[in-house]
Amino acid sequence: MSGPSPTLRAVRPLVMGVVNVTPDSFSDGGLYLDAGRAIEHGLALVAEGADIVDVGGESSRPGAEPVAEDEECRRVVPVIEALAGSVRVSVDTVKPGVARAAVAAGATLINDISASLWPVAAETGVGWVAMHMKGTPPTMQNDPVYQDVAAEVRSFVLSQATEATAAGVAEVWVDPGIGFGKTTDQNLALLHHLVELVGGGFPVLVGTSRKTFLGRLAPGADGRPAPPQDRLAGSLSTATWAMLAGAAMVRVHDVAATVQAARLVGPTRLPRRPTTMPTTMTEELDAKVAMRGMCA
């Protein structure tokens, strides 16, 4: 199976920083709707150590409504053009037209929550992320039901990734879609079984950053779910969990702290481990890391 290009292989996991050029994203909606501010924010994430900057012009929060294609292009293309000379850029979109315009502007990765744009990636010669989502943003949190969430998600994304590879997409990632049509318990189950997804042979991208389930798991002193700006601890702990389980990249809002965590996690994923770690855990994690070729 195809994995990331040699230039993407690293001992430490990669960190994808988020730039939302939207008025209504759940965490930072409206903060970077102006292209100039979005570019400034993207460059700040680069300075903090982001390996990739993910630019999106349409919110995918629960209940979000679609944006017209021309408006989405108007939002993202100038930002991508400005950032592409400083960092690798991905575009977060589900629209073929936006994806093509973003690639023409300099994006080299399509971050696709619909898991349907692999033909565009094959056509344009860029990388592609296949994410799992149950339903669509307006409906996805309306009582999502699974028989076995980890098995169903794994089967879906690996099937899409295999199809994309067969079509000629050289760089294919899979993402379990934490928070996209999942309850808190289902999100936790996906994290618990993440090493099994890693074992599927494709590099795994995980995004838990500032998501609602973290606020519910760690409420404030008043018992209410913590707001997005107070979810750093949960974001960082779940990103670290994902990296230790073998995720090759994490998508985050808080880049500097996550890069530091990734630098610390990286060496622990090398074949040599402390003898105090249980042998079965050591062998399992080493096998997953070696299979992905993440140890340079």
Write the pLDDT tens digit of every residue in 165-219. 999 999 999 999 999 989 999 999 999 999 999 999 999 999 999 998 999 998 8
pLDDT at 135: 65
Mean pLDDT of the chain: 85
CB atoms near residue 276 (< 10 Å): 6
Q: The dihedral of CA 266, 128, 162, 144: what is its sign?
A: positive
Q: How sure is the predictor about 228, in pLDDT bands with cuts at 50, 70 and 90?
A: confident
pLDDT at 290: 42
Instruction: Give the catalytic positions in this structure.
Output: 211, 251
Mean pLDDT of 272-281: 36
Q: Which two tokens stand for residue 268?
A: 């622990």
pLDDT at 157: 97
Using an 8 Å Cβ cutoff, are 286 and 246 in contact? no
In 171-234, which ranges are E strands? 172-175, 205-206
Query: Comparing C-alpha atoms, which of 290, 292, 1 is closest to residue 169?
Result: 1
In the chain, which ranges are E strands? 14-20, 52-56, 88-92, 109-112, 127-131, 172-175, 205-206, 249-252
Q: What percent of the chain is modeled with pLDDT above 70?
A: 80
Q: Does domain 6-292 fall into CATH 3.40.50.300?
A: no
Q: Which residue has the higher pLDDT, 274 or 268?
A: 268
Give exposure, 147-180, as e/b (b: 16+ Cβ within 10 Å): eebbeebbebbbebbbebbeeebbbbbbbbbbbb
Query: Comparing C-alpha atoms, which of 209, 247, 198, 17 is closest to residue 109?
Result: 17
